Amino acid sequence: MARMTRTQVTLEESEYRFLKARAAETGSSLSSVVRGMVRDRMRQVAAGAPHVWDVAGMISESAFSGRDHDAVIYGGDPGTSDADGGGTRPAGDGA
């Protein structure tokens, strides 16, 4: 079992009654019910997070290209790079 951390939570009476009823229904502790609900929510959030492949290529109508990344990072004019004399890298970076 994973390492657990003890915490204290303040609940409204209706929330407490709900959790106690769920614990009684399942024959488990209130803490176990809360942990299960937290794990369920964590899975929902993880499932809803976009994967890199879900967002790749979303911006297809743009003048920006991967070649412009130095301009974005270091500042300068997109479309120029050190390779074509644009000099978008900061002075003295050793590159």
The parent domain of residue 40 ranges over 13-49
Phi, psi of 25 (to 5 degrees): -60, -40
* Residue 85, in any domain of the structure: no
**How many domains would you assign to the chain?**
1
Average of pLDDT values for 10-16? 96
* Residue 29, in any domain of the structure: yes
Which residue is listed with tokens 């929510």? 41
* Residue 2, in any domain of the structure: no
Mean per-residue pLDDT of the chain:
78
CA distances from 77 to 4, 13, 66, 88 (A): 52, 60, 13, 7
Q: Which tens digits make up the pLDDT trace of 37-80?
A: 999 999 988 887 777 676 666 666 666 666 776 776 777 766 55
Distance of alpha carbon 75 from alpha carbon 38, whole angstroms: 43
What pLDDT was estimated at residue 70?
Answer: 73
Q: How many CA atoms lie within 13 A of 2 on its CB side?
A: 5
* Residue 40, in any domain of the structure: yes
* Residue 30, in any domain of the structure: yes
* Residue 60, in any domain of the structure: no
